[in-house]
Amino acid sequence: MRHLRCDSPPWGHAGFRHCGGGEPRPRCADLRDLRLWRGGLAVRRAASGDREDQGTPRRVTLPADFPIDPATVQAVVFDCDGLLLDTETLWTGAEAAFVEGHGHVWLPEYKEHVIGTNLAFTAEYLCAIVGRAGDGPAAQAELAALADAEYAKGIPQLPGAALLTELCGARVPLAVASNTHTPRLRDQLTVAGLGHLADTAIGSDQVAHPKPAPDVYLAACESLGVSPADAVAFEDTSHGVASAKEAGMRVVMVPSLHADHRADWTVAALDDPALVAWARMLGN
């Protein structure tokens, strides 16, 4: 779901509002989200020189306006798949090819079960669907080969990934924490043009338990020399949010499928104007 610029409050039928004929944007669920919408609008108007009304400047956005105070952030840890890179789309192609190759129909609900998990879980789950229960290790290799074929087509960044990692990295230490194994994770980042994050990328093969366990986020914070309480995680799935919260971190969520109420701040995309303004204030 991409962020839409809209100067009208995001109310609407069935939780959505269409802005300017584009895609629907999420309805504000509570007053905090309304403040976020207003904060984003203030940032856009401040950037363009607009006024709230004639002769009255719009109030400057301050750190206290954000759900997470940027002055309290000593490090940022990003998820990768579906957050920085559009690899979830590529993996969906591989997973669908695996299921359909066994004569079954790929259903969207299958993706909801495996998104944010790891390859071992995905393989076992899909094997159960296609009648190959217990054949997980072999299926992992098949899925990896199918994914490699998808990767050969290119690995696109998601909107705002380059800008936000650049802004955050200029102010605080960064790491990447993913359920993808480290070699593949670092290759993905490099191929996609985010190679500056590869050296601090930690995959689930380096810890005892993958997400939703907190291990990979704890390892990332340890590698940066910061307490989890002083770091912020960026996630796109509920499994990832659960992992980061269990580690004791604050979480910004950019949902791939569904929002999660446990996140401290939910935005539609990494290039959300309020989020970009927040990144510019880190460490201040």
Instruction: State the pTM of this model.
Output: 0.71
pLDDT at res. 117: 83
260 is catalytic: no
pLDDT at res. 91: 83
Task: Determine the Cα–Cα distance for residues 127 and 135; give it in Å rounded to an integer.
Answer: 7
Q: Residue-wise pLDDT tens for the chain (284 aa)?
A: 333 333 333 333 333 333 334 444 443 344 344 334 334 443 443 333 343 444 544 455 566 679 999 999 999 999 999 999 998 888 888 889 899 999 999 998 998 888 878 888 999 999 999 999 888 899 999 998 998 888 888 899 999 999 999 999 999 999 999 999 999 999 999 999 999 999 999 999 999 999 999 999 999 999 999 999 999 999 999 999 999 999 999 999 999 988 999 999 999 999 999 999 999 999 87
79 is catalytic: yes
- Sequential DSSP letters for 5-68: --SS----GGGEEE-TTS-EEEPP-SHHHHHHHHHHHHHHHHHHT--SBTTBPPPPP-GGGSSS
pLDDT at res. 136: 87
pLDDT at res. 63: 62
Residue type, 95: E
Task: Determine the Cα–Cα distance for residues 188 and 31; give it in Å rounded to an integer.
Answer: 38
pLDDT at res. 131: 92
Task: Determine the Cα–Cα distance for residues 131 and 140; give it in Å rounded to an integer.
Answer: 15
Three-state secondary-structure class, residue 270: coil
Which tokens in the block code for residue 284? 């201040």
Active-site pick, 79, 236, 260, 271: 79
Active-site pick, 65, 81, 86, 271: 81
pLDDT at res. 147: 85
Three-state secondary-structure class, residue 184: helix
Of the candidates 212, 209, 202, which has an alpha carbon nearest to the alpha carbon of residue 235? Answer: 212
| CB of 202 closer than 8 Å to CB of 219 | yes
